[in-house]
Amino acid sequence: MSPVDLFARGRLADLDAATLERLLDRTPRDDPGLATSVAAILADVRERGDEALMEMAQRFDGVRLEALEVPREAWGGALSSLDPSVKAALERAATNIRRFHEAQLPPAVTLEVEPGVRITRAWTPLARVGVYAPGGRAAYPSSVLMGVVPAKAAGVTEVVVCSPPGPAGTPPREVLAACAIAGADRLFSIGGAGAVAALAYGTDIVPRVDAIVGPGNRWVTEAKRQVAGELVIDSPAGPSEVLVLADAEADARLVALEMMAQAEHDPDASCVLVSTSGAFATAAESALAAELATAPRADICSQAFATSGAILVVEDTQEAIDFVNRYAPEHLSVMTQDALSDAAGVRTAGTMFVGAAASVAFGDYMTGANHVLPTAGRSRSFSGLSTLNYLRSYTLQEIDDAGAAGMADDVATLASAEGLPAHAAAAAARRAP
């Protein structure tokens, strides 16, 4: 069987500097004008609103829309016509997501920092949130659940979903049904950077939101980056990634299946195996070739492997963990004999799946953990989507007369040192009589 066309293979220590840098820097490079193009879309929607969105649907999605908003009756119709097994699976997933995200709600914290001075940090839900659900090559009702259910668990008043229209002028039936199951409030047939612009700035029809969450392609990711100063975004969640850490005792077919599962998402997906065994690396590549030969989405997978796929061999587990921390994958699958111990050495990953039974696919759909995660190495700085993304915190400061008198002199001193006499006077006026 022919070897898989991979971007890199062999011993990690033998990779040249350019190859290693390309593995670590997964930002797509084939469209240097992306930022400019996205900026133009954002500006167009901001200026022309719904008219621009209708034109973009025809230009980018190939459909002439009669309306941007999908009526709730259509959601109900989609839900009633959905395959009962699909409906049951979506409802089960929604239940698990809700349970896990409700458990994340943070308590208020109150502390008397000194006598008479009580500080409270409290949380309040955002009023309106936008959820982006990708479309294009596949329907992603799971992304609807991952965005909407946590928002409702956090107490968000209104959740607005945007998803690209299909040939019929609406998102796929599964997406509509997921909106009904998750408890979304409004749904719009809008995709790409235009959807991000509509949510960020608002139009006559699409309401302006306080935060935008959800994964997307490079256009969506870049648009979220550009509007980040206008409102809250979750994290840069672009094309999917998996790094599998495996030793000689791992199951080669299970490793191959984990790589295939992420590669089938997108030609820009990144799939890497790091193994402490050269013999296992060879076996895993043979298993990957066998899976690829019969895969329905083989073309997409092959492009992903050629662009950002790698099978690498390391001397020992520590070298593997060091590479994982540099790579900072979206998904980390640890298939070693001491999987939990090995995972404990990793500081940078969006989410970790520990042990051979823990397929990334379970987290994508059913465990209740969120599958909206930072990609392209950004898990060094960003966290995955959680309940906290739908909340904002504030502080409440209670100071009684004795507390004020106790701070007055020191605050007046500091204010005077900074050249702010009115501050000093405000503090001094609270001195003890």
Cα angle vertex 427, ends 431, 118, to 5°?
85
265 part of the active site? no
Contact 348, 384 (CB under 8 A): no
Contact 170, 176 (CB under 8 A): yes
Torsion angle in degrees (nearest 10) through CA of 22, 26, 28, 34:
-120
DSSP 337: T
Amino acid, single-letter form, for residue 70: V
69 part of the active site? no
Label residues 340-354 b or e (16+ Cβ within 10 Å = b). Answer: eebbeebebbbbbbb
What gap in Å lies between CA 428 and CA 418, rounded to an integer? 15
One of 315, 330, 371, 423 is an active-site residue; which one?
330
One of 101, 265, 331, 371 is an active-site residue; which one?
331
DSSP 65: -
Q: Say how many residues make up the chain.
A: 433
What gap in Å lies between CA 68 and CA 369, rounded to an integer? 31
What gap in Å lies between CA 173 and CA 80, rounded to an integer? 10
Residue 357 CB: number of other CB atoms within 10 A? 9
Torsion angle in degrees (nearest 10) through CA of 223, 224, 225, 227:
90
Where do runs of H (alpha helix) occur along 103-238? 141-154, 173-182, 192-201, 218-227
Give Cα separations from 332 to 68, 106, 259, 344 (angstroms): 38, 27, 11, 12
- The first and second tokens of residue 276, run together, are 């402490």
- The first and second tokens of residue 51, run together, are 């008219």
Residue 138 CB: number of other CB atoms within 10 A? 13
Give the residue numbers annotated as catalytic, written as ranges: 330-331
